[in-house]
């Protein structure tokens, strides 16, 4: 069961990374002026940072699993 979660989170991370790379590629190939393109990229990176920060807050830093855990009681 734990291995399934690990594989799922890895696949999700790879999917999100691919989506981000695709979004940047589309932004760079779209015919826009320099200032418009920079503004779009700034907006995209801001959204990505917020999403990654939110995703990082849902993962326990001690065990890497989703959610909050009380490691002192369980000994994990």
List per-residue pLDDT tens for the chain, 76 residues long: 456 667 778 888 899 999 989 988 887 787 888 888 889 889 988 998 888 888 777 766 666 666 656 666 554 4
Residue 44 CA, distance from chain mean position: 13
Q: Are 41 and 27 within 8 A, CB to CB?
A: yes
pTM of the complete model beyond 0.75? no
pLDDT for 17: 92
DSSP alpha helix (H) spans, the chain: 2-29, 34-57, 71-74
Half-sphere exposure of 18 (CA within 13 A, CB side): 6
The position carrying tokens 């002192």 is 72
pLDDT for 61: 65
Long-range contacts of 19-24 (CB under 8 A, 24+ apart): 20/48
């Amino acid at each position: 069961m734990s291995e399934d979660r690990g594989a799922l989170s890895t696949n999700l991370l790879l999917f999100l990374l691919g989506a981000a790379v695709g979004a940047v590629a589309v932004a760079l190939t779209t015919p826009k002026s320099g200032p418009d393109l920079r503004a779009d990229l700034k907006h995209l990176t801001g959204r990505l940072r917020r999403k990654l920060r939110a995703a990082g807050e849902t993962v326990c830093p001690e065990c890497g699993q989703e959610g909050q855990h009380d490691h002192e009681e369980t000994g994990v």
